[in-house]
Chain A
Amino acid sequence: DSGVTQTPKHLITATGQRVTLRCSPRSGDLSVYWYQQSLDQGLQFLIQYYNGEERAKGNILERFSAQQFPDLHSELNLSSLELGDSALYFCASSVDPGGAAGELFFGEGSRLTVL
């Protein structure tokens, strides 16, 4: 158990809909990262938050947005969903903003299926 909690574990929805994925980081971790893993793809970095502020942005679509709340949990909002958004979405957390002093701790992922 990494200590990172993601909900829901599975989600099936239709094109055009909007969903919210939730992540609770490990106790004490201030940084939260979101990654997308599509079929046969690596982990694509979407966005990072540190202590409530956006820290780094990756290949995140404009239809996607995220935020980190004062209690440090984070939500990833996916809107106007397309078939290609079907993927496994991972949240990870780390102690420091750069993460270089250690590693990322990953949740079990939220599997999104868009029909």
Chain B
Amino acid sequence: DQQVKQNSPSLSVQEGRISILNCDYTNSMFDYFLWYKKYPAEGPTFLISISSIKDKNEDGRFTVFLNKSAKHLSLHIVPSQPGDSAVYFCAAFGNQFYFGTGTSLTVIP
């Protein structure tokens, strides 16, 4: 049973525009959410996180929004750059980390 879902396998965005990656979860007991970025032939690397007591966390061009009532998480990248092209994994922490299936972002120059 997939407790964290990323329903969009891929996303293409023009350079300079906003990229919005979405994530849904099923367990209301999750208390910590994270986004990881993965380049080919590398392991995932931490990007940004948010605690369940917050609804927004910003770090430079990256902002994560949390809507607990909808059990929905999103990552906004503004402005998008070609180097942002990667697979993005959403993760939630309860008693362990649960990962989504990833969204492959392509930023077109």
The reply on B32 being an interface residue by CB < 8 A is yes
- Minimum-distance CB pairs A-B, first 8: A106-B43, A42-B101, A103-B46, A43-B99, A100-B32, A42-B99, A56-B96, A108-B43
Chain B residues within 8 Å of A35, by CB: 99
Which B residues contact A (CB, under 8 angstroms)? 2, 4, 6, 9, 31-32, 34, 36, 41-46, 49, 89, 91, 93, 95-102
Chain B residues within 8 Å of A106, by CB: 36, 43-45
CB contacts under 8 Å to B, within A73-115, are 90, 92, 98-100, 103-109
Our pick among B34, B45, B89, B99 for the contact of A45 (Cβ within 8 Å) is B99
CB contacts under 8 Å to B, within A35-69, are 35, 40-45, 48, 56, 58
State in angstroms the CA–CA spacing of A45 and B91 once bound together: 11
B93 engages A45 (CB within 8 Å)? no
Which A residues contact B (CB, under 8 angstroms)? 2, 4, 33, 35, 40-45, 48, 56, 58, 90, 92, 98-100, 103-109
B43 engages A90 (CB within 8 Å)? yes
State in angstroms the CA–CA spacing of A2 and B43 once bound together: 9
A103 engages B101 (CB within 8 Å)? no
A108 engages B42 (CB within 8 Å)? yes
State in angstroms the CA–CA spacing of A103 and B37 once bound together: 12
Chain B residues within 8 Å of A105, by CB: 46
Given the contacts A42-B102, A43-B89, A99 and B97 also touching, CB distance less than 8 Å: yes
A interface: dominant SS: loop
Given the contacts A43-B89, A103-B34, A90 and B44 also touching, CB distance less than 8 Å: yes
In the assembled complex, the CB of A55 is this many whole angstroms from the nearest CB of chain B, namely: 9
Chain B residues within 8 Å of A108, by CB: 41-43
B93 engages A58 (CB within 8 Å)? no
13 residue pairs A–B, Cβ–Cβ below 8 Å: A40-B101, A41-B101, A42-B2, A43-B89, A43-B99, A45-B97, A56-B96, A90-B44, A98-B95, A103-B49, A104-B97, A105-B46, A108-B43
